[in-house]
């Protein structure tokens, strides 16, 4: 302990390395300590007490994995660790924060409203740490240059921000020119040499002879339902059970074509109640009971902008998945900025 201040107002601060690791962590893991000052209820003495909470990067990684997988089993499989390690880490994190991050249900984990808010902070912390590591690796290196980057609208909203933030922090002097357009047009620009790299749905890239493709994220299609919908009682829903039900269709990238293909074989076609190019509009419409939606888990969020809850279920059967990644011209030499961007994106997605 070390003493800070003088006289009656002095306080004692526990040294950082004496913080006791939470259960589910290893003693050697670095802790993130957050101190909050609370007035001491001892009259007008001016005393202050320090309340410390400490969690580890490993706990944050396990929490993010569980939130993305929706089950402890899925998180453990993605991280190649035991289920008990995930369970213990999440419980320790909840104890540390003093909030419930998940509602435990028979079919898996349902992230709470506070858990959803903390998820953004957890991802930011992990991104900051990854960027710091990258900065130390490149310490003293002032890389300059220019990068022409293409991105589709769907990817821009759900994948690009993390990749771009990581890259900008590691290479702040690179001049970026970002173009948002359809996947088909971005492929045209790549082949013509007008773009260095594109972040897009790699499952929609057609000319594999001309373009080098690397998939970073694979996201299966899931069914979105409003809270309390009768189908939400089932762990998995067949496509046949959607026949005749109102559906909300997203008209973005290959999503429209894929969902049309999914429902084409049904004896009774679902009723398309609304078509939109806005994912937020889909969330609001589903949450208020206007219809159901089949969309990649990548774009799922449990709350609409109005604060209404959206549930998600697996769809049984042979469904396609959305693959998100990078594309660049095959055989063409990559510039330094392009190569660094590809490496940054690869390592960033590997850390998620």
**Which pLDDT does position 187 carry in this prediction?**
94
pLDDT in tens, 307-339: 899 999 988 877 778 889 999 998 888 898 999
Q: Based on the domain organization, do 152 and 33 belong to the same domain?
A: no
- Per the model's pLDDT, the better-predicted residue between 320 and 294 turns out to be 294
pLDDT in tens, 35-62: 433 333 333 334 334 444 578 888 998 9
What's the mean pLDDT in 86-92? Answer: 89
**pLDDT, the chain, mean:** 79
Which residue, chain included where needed, has tokens 């998939």?
A: 215
**Which pLDDT does position 329 carry in this prediction?**
93
Alpha-carbon Rg of the chain, whole angstroms?
Answer: 24
**Which pLDDT does position 264 carry in this prediction?**
72
**Which pLDDT does position 265 carry in this prediction?**
63
Q: Based on the domain organization, do 194 and 331 belong to the same domain?
A: yes
- Per the model's pLDDT, the better-predicted residue between 98 and 1 turns out to be 98
- Environment class of residue 188 by beta-carbon count within 10 Å: exposed (0-12), middle (13-18) or buried (19+)? middle
Question: Among 120-129, 131-140, 177-186, which range has the highest average pLDDT?
Answer: 177-186
- Environment class of residue 106 by beta-carbon count within 10 Å: exposed (0-12), middle (13-18) or buried (19+)? exposed
Which residue, chain included where needed, has tokens 């173009």?
A: 179
**Which pLDDT does position 141 carry in this prediction?**
54
Question: Among 5-9, 140-144, 186-190, which range has the highest average pLDDT?
Answer: 186-190
pLDDT at residue 345 tops 60:
yes
Q: To which H or E segment does residue 74 belong?
A: helix 72-79
- Per the model's pLDDT, the better-predicted residue between 147 and 322 turns out to be 147
**Which pLDDT does position 179 carry in this prediction?**
94
Q: Based on the domain organization, do 313 and 244 belong to the same domain?
A: yes
Q: Based on the domain organization, do 110 and 157 belong to the same domain?
A: no
**Boundary-marking domain end, from 98, 120, 137:** 137
Give helix 57-69 / helix 113-137 axis angle, nearest 10°: 130
| pTM for the predicted model, two decimal places | 0.58
Which residues, in sequence order, are CB contacts of 346 under 8 Å at separation 6+?
A: 214, 216
Query: How many domains are contained in the chain?
Result: 3
Which residues, in sequence order, are CB contacts of 110 under 8 Å at separation 6+?
A: 70, 102, 103, 302, 311
C-beta of residue 166 within 8 angstroms of C-beta of residue 215:
no
pLDDT at residue 108 tops 80:
yes
Q: Based on the domain organization, do 105 and 159 belong to the same domain?
A: no
Closest CA to 113 of 288, 302, 305, 285: 302
pLDDT at residue 88 tops 50:
yes
**Which pLDDT does position 137 carry in this prediction?**
60
pLDDT at residue 257 tops 70:
yes
Q: Based on the domain organization, do 64 and 196 belong to the same domain?
A: no
**Which pLDDT does position 323 carry in this prediction?**
87
Which residues, in sequence order, are CB contacts of 121 under 8 Å at separation 6+?
A: none
Q: How many CB atoms lie within 10 A of CB 15?
A: 8
pLDDT at residue 20 tops 60:
no
Which residues, in sequence order, are CB contacts of 334 under 8 Å at separation 6+?
A: 196, 328, 342
> The tokens of 137 are what?
């690796």
Q: Based on the domain organization, do 47 and 114 belong to the same domain?
A: yes
> The tokens of 275 are what?
């078509």
**Boundary-marking domain end, from 93, 116, 137:** 137
Q: Based on the domain organization, do 77 and 162 belong to the same domain?
A: no
**Which pLDDT does position 138 carry in this prediction?**
53
Low-confidence winner among 123-137, 214-228, 239-253 (lowest mean pLDDT):
123-137
Which residues, in sequence order, are CB contacts of 254 under 8 Å at separation 6+?
A: 183, 201, 203, 204, 322
pLDDT at residue 30 tops 90:
no
What's the mean pLDDT in 69-76? Answer: 85
Q: Based on the domain organization, do 16 and 123 belong to the same domain?
A: yes
Of the chain, the end-to-end C-alpha distance in Å amounts to 37
Q: Based on the domain organization, do 21 and 108 belong to the same domain?
A: yes
Percent of the chain exceeding pLDDT 90 equals: 27
Reported as a pLDDT band with limits 50, 70 and 90, residue 136 is low
Q: Based on the domain organization, do 318 and 337 belong to the same domain?
A: no
Structural domain including 91 reads: 1-137
CATH number of the CATH domain containing 267? 3.40.190.10
**Boundary-marking domain end, from 120, 137, 154:** 137
> The tokens of 220 are what?
């299966």
Closest CA to 281 of 238, 224, 329, 221: 224
Low-confidence winner among 81-90, 138-147, 226-235, 280-289 (lowest mean pLDDT):
138-147
Q: Based on the domain organization, do 298 and 334 belong to the same domain?
A: no
Reported as a pLDDT band with limits 50, 70 and 90, residue 350 is low
pLDDT at residue 23 tops 70:
no
pLDDT at residue 2 tops 50:
no
CATH number of the CATH domain containing 61? 1.10.10.10
Query: Distance (Å, rounded) from C-alpha 160 to C-alpha 152?
Result: 9
What's the mean pLDDT in 188-195? Answer: 94
Which residues, in sequence order, are CB contacts of 163 under 8 Å at separation 6+?
A: 199, 344, 345, 348, 349
């Amino acid at each position: 302990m070390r003493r800070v201040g003088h006289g009656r107002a002095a306080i004692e601060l526990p040294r950082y390395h004496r913080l006791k690791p939470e259960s589910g962590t290893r003693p050697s893991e670095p802790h993130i300590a957050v101190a909050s000052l609370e007035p001491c209820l001892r009259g007008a003495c001016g005393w202050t007490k320090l309340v410390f909470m400490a969690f580890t990067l490993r706990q944050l990684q396990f929490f993010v994995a569980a939130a993305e997988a929706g089950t402890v089993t899925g998180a453990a499989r993605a991280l190649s660790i035991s289920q008990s390690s995930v369970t213990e880490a999440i419980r320790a994190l909840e104890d540390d924060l003093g909030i419930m991050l998940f509602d435990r249900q028979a079919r898996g984990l349902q992230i709470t409203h506070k858990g959803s808010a903390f998820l953004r902070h957890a991802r930011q912390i992990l991104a900051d740490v990854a960027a710091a590591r990258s900065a130390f690796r490149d310490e003293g290196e002032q890389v300059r240059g220019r990068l022409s980057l293409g991105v589709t609208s769907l990817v821009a909203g759900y994948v690009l921000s993390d990749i771009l933030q990581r890259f900008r922090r590691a290479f702040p002097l690179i001049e970026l020119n970002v173009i948002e357009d359809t996947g088909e047009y971005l492929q045209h620009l790549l082949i013509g040499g007008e773009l260095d790299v594109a972040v897009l749905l790699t499952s929609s890239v057609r000319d594999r002879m001309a373009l080098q493709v690397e998939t970073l994220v694979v996201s299966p299609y899931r069914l979105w339902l409003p809270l309390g919908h009768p189908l939400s009682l089932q762990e998995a829903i067949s496509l046949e059970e959607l026949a005749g039900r109102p559906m909300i269709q997203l008209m973005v990238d290959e999503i429209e074509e894929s969902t049309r293909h999914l429902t084409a074989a049904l004896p009774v076609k679902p009723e398309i109640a609304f078509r939109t190019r806005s994912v937020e509009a889909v969330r609001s419409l589903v949450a208020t009971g206007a219809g159901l939606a089949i969309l990649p888990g990548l774009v799922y969020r449990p709350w609409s902008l109005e604060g209404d809850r959206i549930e998600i279920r697996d769809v049984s059967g042979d469904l396609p998945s959305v693959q998100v990644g990078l594309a660049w011209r095959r055989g063409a030499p990559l510039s330094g900025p392009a190569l660094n961007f590809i490496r940054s994106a690869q390592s960033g997605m590997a850390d998620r």
